[in-house]
């Protein structure tokens, strides 16, 4: 077991990538606190994952609630070894029809809340802890309609470099996992029916060299690697889990003869 005796906090641990990571961490021996806003899905996740999981309702955009959630996790488990700042939202902010509130909501959730999650966690972290931030391929791909989301994730990536500098004296590592298109409920609004999901994944897969959407479990395995001692000398890095979408886009099926 790669996380035996370790303690972790995962924001957005009641769905998608965060939930898959919580499941994997528990299987690897960790005790895990998960947060989210939705009490019902948090409770369902805690029930499914068993006694080594603590579910805490906390809106990541509420600094005080975040500080309380981290304190509650530390009170239950002791000092934390791992933080996965994963909670995030999608958001369409095209030029021409975007209201300030919509733009700011994406930045507040995906960028500002990540900073304050880390700030709240740092006093409760063991020296040598590992922090993983969830980025996105959209920080570099230029997808139309995603200005706020792309900026938030590029900000996360930039912020990780600064955090790595500030926290290196305590041996705390800060890295980014950046998923490409991954099957999770985040796509529910874009593709509200099973048929729409299939069509969406088929279309986006044309832009991915490996020709398919990712699974939440594939991102979780990379988070596990970054969280574990196997990544003990990896600091301030970004790992894309995207089937080659950012590294070799010209290899995508859309470009094949």
Is 184 a binding residue for ligand NDP by CB under 6 A? The answer is yes
Phi/psi region, residue 20 (left: phi>0; alpha: psi -120 to 50; beta: rest), is alpha
Site for ligand NDP, residues 206 to 245, rule: CB under 6 A: none
From 77, 84, 116, 149, the catalytic residue: 149
Site for ligand NDP, residues 68 to 97, rule: CB under 6 A: 86-89
- Of 7 and 184, the one with the shorter C-beta distance to ligand NDP is 184
- Of 63 and 234, the one with the shorter C-beta distance to ligand NDP is 63
Helix (H, G, I), strand (E, B) or coil at 101: helix
CA separation for the pair 186, 86 (Å, rounded): 12
- Angle among Cα 175, 180, 184 to the nearest 5 degrees reads 100
CB of 2 to ligand NDP, least distance (A): 22
Q: Which residues pair with 230 in a beta bridge?
A: none
CB of 27 to ligand NDP, least distance (A): 18
CA separation for the pair 190, 198 (Å, rounded): 12
CB of 125 to ligand NDP, least distance (A): 20
Phi/psi region, residue 213 (left: phi>0; alpha: psi -120 to 50; beta: rest), is beta
CA separation for the pair 95, 82 (Å, rounded): 38
State yes or no: is 146 an active-site residue: no
Among 3, 17, 148, 167, interactor with ligand NDP by CB under 6 A: 17
Site for ligand NDP, residues 27 to 66, rule: CB under 6 A: 35-38, 41, 59-61
Among 21, 130, 136, 246, interactor with ligand NDP by CB under 6 A: 136
Q: Which of 43, 223, 110, 124 is nearest to 34 (CA)?
A: 43
- Of 185 and 253, the one with the shorter C-beta distance to ligand NDP is 185
CA separation for the pair 114, 252 (Å, rounded): 32
- Of 126 and 157, the one with the shorter C-beta distance to ligand NDP is 157
Here's the x/- map for ligand NDP, 93-132, by CB under 6 A: it reads as ----------------x-----------------------
- Of 28 and 59, the one with the shorter C-beta distance to ligand NDP is 59
Is 151 a binding residue for ligand NDP by CB under 6 A? The answer is no
Instruction: Give one DSSP letter per residue of 128-192, joined into a string.
Output: EEEEEEE--THHHH--TT-HHHHHHHHHHHHHHHHHHHHHGGGT-EEEEEEE-SEESGGGTTTS-
- Which residues participate in catalysis according to the annotation? 149
**What is the binding site for ligand NDP (CB under 6 A)?**
11-12, 14-18, 35-38, 41, 59-61, 86-89, 109, 134, 136, 179, 181-182, 184-186
């Amino acid at each position: 077991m790669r996380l035996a005796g370790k303690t972790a906090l995962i924001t957005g641990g009641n769905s998608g990538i965060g939930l898959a990571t919580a499941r994997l961490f528990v299987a690897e021996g960790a005790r895990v606190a998960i947060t989210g806003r939705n009490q019902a899905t948090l409770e369902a996740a805690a029930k499914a994952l068993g006694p080594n999981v603590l579910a805490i309702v906390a809106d990541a955009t509420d600094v005080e609630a975040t500080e309380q959630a981290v304190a509650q996790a530390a009170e239950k488990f002791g000092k934390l070894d791992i933080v996965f700042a994963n909670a995030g939202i999608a958001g369409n902010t095209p030029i021409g029809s975007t209201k300030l509130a919509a733009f700011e909501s994406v930045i507040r959730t995906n960028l500002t809340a990540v900073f304050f999650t880390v700030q709240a966690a740092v006093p409760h972290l063991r020296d040598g802890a590992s922090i993983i931030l969830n980025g996105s391929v959209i920080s570099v791909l230029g997808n139309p309609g995603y200005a706020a989301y792309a900026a938030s994730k590029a900000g996360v990536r930039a912020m990780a470099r600064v955090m790595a500098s500030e926290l290196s004296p305590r041996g705390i590592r800060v890295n980014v996992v950046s998923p490409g298109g991954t099957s999770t409920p985040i796509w529910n609004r874009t593709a509200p029916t099973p048929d729409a999901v299939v069509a969406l994944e088929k279309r986006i897969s044309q832009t991915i060299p490996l020709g398919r959407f990712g699974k939440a479990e594939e991102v979780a395995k990379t988070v596990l690697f970054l969280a574990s001692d196997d990544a003990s000398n990896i600091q301030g890095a970004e790992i894309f889990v995207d089937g080659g979408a950012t590294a070799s886009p010209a290899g995508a099926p859309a470009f094949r003869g």
